[in-house]
Structure 1
Amino acid sequence: MATPPPSSCVSASSPPPPCSSSPSASLEKQFEDFRVQLDETASVRERIRAVVMEMAATVRLMNSRLLLVHHSLPNPGSKLSETILK
């Protein structure tokens, strides 16, 4: 049994137009919405990537400064090992 055309395709004053364009228009709209979503998620991913790269650079800088602090402090354990080795 055939399904009747959608009410938007039925007109009392004129013969019914071909309704094949309505499903394809709906499909095109869905694909357009999907493309917009993909573009939005791509921009979010790019922003996240930029923030992560900035954080990684900051962590490297902090790590290098901590290494300088730890190497510049006198280490009493190293003095003890020097006296034992002599």
Structure 2
Amino acid sequence: MNRKLKTLVAVLGAAGMGLAASQAQAQDKVKIGFITDMSSLYADVEGKNGALAIQMAIDDFGGKVLGKPVELLSADHQNKADIAASKAREW
């Protein structure tokens, strides 16, 4: 894994855990959302491999944060802001 991808995974993971921490008490899971281009022009930059890298990082750390399981939610925004916003609201 190249350096940029590792940095991206670390930033997304930290952001996801920070956002999920505010709701962690009310939920049984810690959810990390990853919305990226998986089917269009930039799919080769991150895409499905980015989601796979985050899942591998979750697995490497035992899949738990503060005793709660970590769940990765990933979606394809298809390079369209309205689809990305809709997915974010859905989660």
Q: TM-score range by the shorter chain?
A: under 0.3
Instruction: Please report the TM-score for the alignment, with normalisation by the length of structure 2.
Output: 0.26
Higher relative strand content: 2
User: Greater RCO between the two (CA within 8 Å, min separation 6)?
Assistant: 2
TM (norm. structure 1) is 0.27
Greater helix content? 1
